[in-house]
Amino acid sequence: MEDRRYGETNNPPPPLPSATRSFANYTPSTSSTKIVPQATAMKALAAGLAFVGILASMIHHVAGNFSSNVVMLNQRNWRKEVEDNPHAVFVNLLNPEWEELASKVKGFVKIAYWDTEKSGQAPPVLGEIRGTPTIKLLRPKRKAKTNKQKEVVDYQMERKAGDMQSFALDLMPSFVERVNGEEDFLKFQNKAKKYGLPMVLFFSEDRRILNEMKFLSAEFRRRVLIAQIPFTKKENKSLFFEYGVRGQALLVVPPRSTEEGGEEQSDEDKQNLVVFDGKWNLHRLQSFISEHALKSEVKLPKPAEKKEQQETQQENTKKEHVKTEL
């Protein structure tokens, strides 16, 4: 298949007021889930969720010390490391494989273990422990209102760092919305407007969602709305042209004030775009989005409030329809 990038066309798009940065030399990170070493099958199993996910192993006794990349879970830190964590936690007991895994997924997935002798009985969320080593990944349920509700996935593949790394990163929570054309982009804009969320637009050269984007979508969930616009979809080329993007770029569109209103994005809106022009790494990306994210999560309407809003919207639509007919 012919590989044609936007910047190689004969008619390049007009530049934005601030030049959009292209990340042609970017090498994506391979880490994205954190895993815990396996001291003994029963102890590591109780480890819970951190960062994008938590990979945990149940062990009966920890034979040796682990690095600071591996977290020992107990009753005191369980809430901080697992319940309140929007990311994944990987719990296991395989040393030195566990140490290697923790190093590879550092910053993306938390690696932890639970020592049943020192930490006591494992939390009920970890479920039944069948033999050792037992390895589990914990991550927030997608439709849950808080991070405390966890989905637990058993790891049943080979106990090698590379296999566990692939497993952990593949299961990282992701709230990135893919855009496949202008219709999808309009829905994305309307959703951001409905909740008053800043839009983070990630223009990419392929459809693969980077671990960095997965992490950021979980870290800033309900504080920004992140869309990935791949150039490989021909329906998206007009969006690359509209925003003056060549190659890979990251933009933030601040939310409109309630007084501004309007459905379409104006030229003035594009003047307010913020372009990320720093070094592409997780720390700098996180700092950049943090500057433009809402200070707190938007509150989702309760069922009764949602029903009332829908009824009001239907009534307004009905009135507009009658007025048009008259």
155 touches 80 (CB < 8 A) = no
Q: How far apart are CA 42 and CA 126, in angstroms?
A: 11
Is residue 193 classed exposed, middle or buried when 0-12, 13-18 and 19+ CB atoms within 10 A define those classes? middle
pLDDT at 257: 59
Q: Can you give the pLDDT of all 326 residues of the chain as single tens digits?
A: 444 433 344 444 444 444 344 443 434 444 333 333 333 333 333 333 333 356 665 554 444 455 567 777 777 777 777 777 777 665 555 567 888 898 999 999 988 887 766 777 778 887 776 666 678 898 988 888 877 888 999 998 888 899 999 999 999 999 999 999 999 999 999 999 999 999 999 999 999 999 999 999 999 999 999 999 999 888 999 999 999 998 899 999 988 655 555 455 555 566 689 999 999 999 999 999 999 999 999 987 776 655 666 566 666 555 444 443 32
The topology under which CATH files domain 34-170 is: Glutaredoxin (3.40.30)
* CA distances (Å), origin 283, targets 136, 176, 259, 279: 27, 18, 35, 9
- Phi and psi for 228 in degrees, rounded to 5? -105, 125
36 touches 168 (CB < 8 A) = no
Classified as helix, coil or strand, 178 is strand
Domain ranges of the chain: 6-24+176-292, 34-170
Does the domain spanning 6-24+176-292 belong to CATH 3.40.30.10?
Answer: yes
216 CB contacts (<8 Å, ≥6 apart)?
200, 226, 285, 286, 289
6-24+176-292 and 34-170: same fold?
yes
pLDDT at 12: 47
213 touches 281 (CB < 8 A) = no
The pTM (predicted TM-score) of the whole model is 0.70
Tokens of residue 114, six digits: 């639970």
Of 52, 48, 34, 31, give the one whose Cα is nearest residue 221: 52
Q: What is the DSSP string of 71-82?
A: EEE-TTTHIIII
Tokens of residue 117, six digits: 């002798």
pLDDT at 251: 93
145 touches 87 (CB < 8 A) = no
Q: How far apart are CA 101 and CA 66, in angstroms?
A: 12
Is residue 104 classed exposed, middle or buried when 0-12, 13-18 and 19+ CB atoms within 10 A define those classes? buried
